[in-house]
Amino acid sequence: MRVQRFLLIAVLFLTCGVTTTYAQFGYGEPSRTFEITPFGGTRFGGAIDLNSGPFSQLDIKSTWDYGIMGDVTIFPNVEGEFMWSRQPTQLTGIDFTTGVPSPVGNATLDMYQWGVNVALRNAQAKLVPFVAFGLGFTHFGTNFPTGFSNGFSYSIGGGVKYFFTQHWGARLDVRYAPSRTTTSTGVVCDFFGNCFSVPVNNYAHQGQANLGLIFRF
């Protein structure tokens, strides 16, 4: 519930912050309808909390990532967006008793996100800063028995686009992108001091920074 409330506040804030300017391409006013952006960069951070076994958690090694984004205009300065991002990585287990790390194998994290991209100036300008967020899921491909394979994920961030011509440009995109992993037990106490055990969702808290080439149609 806290995640959904945070995203709702972010949507209202970012939408109210959109500004409109009239900087156009010098040779006309291209219509933006659809963009395809292959990208590459890095995804960093993240750990998978475990409830049993020899390890307390699995650390996700920060490595390179790659993927593709597709954007389609739905309102002036607002695009619907799909993003697929893949991270080939390695997992390191942290021993329950000693805290000593040891490698446990390779993993592939595939993130699928559907969301919105909001331009912070006229979308037809050459230089377009933006904010973006998405909801979806992450597939954890690994031979290590984690007890799950798919988990809810979301992303929020922004960046800048620069268009060299009407039909192609470059995009810098930086995001916070956590993925839900396992469930553990937490304790919540009410006003009268009564305490209860409740399930708590654990997240692999990751970030990513990518540079892509935009093809606009």
- From residue 87, alpha-carbon distances to 96, 176, 197 in Å are 26, 15, 35
pLDDT surpasses 70 at 3: no
pLDDT surpasses 70 at 41: yes
Nearest 5°: phi and psi at 13? -65, -45
pTM exceeding 0.85: no
pLDDT at 6: 40
Which of 84, 40, 74, 65 is CA-nearest to residue 212?
Answer: 40
Q: pLDDT of 81-140, one tens digit each?
A: 999 999 999 999 999 888 999 999 999 999 999 999 999 998 888 999 999 999 999 999
Q: Cα torsion for 101, 102, 108, 111, to the nearest 10°?
A: -10
| Full domain range(s) for residue 186 | 2-216
In terms of Cβ atoms closer than 10 Å to its own Cβ (0-12, 13-18, 19+), residue 207 is middle
What is the count of structural domains for the chain? 1
pLDDT surpasses 80 at 15: no
C-alpha 13 chain-centroid distance: 19
Domain containing residue 69: CATH number: 2.40.160.20
pLDDT at 31: 59
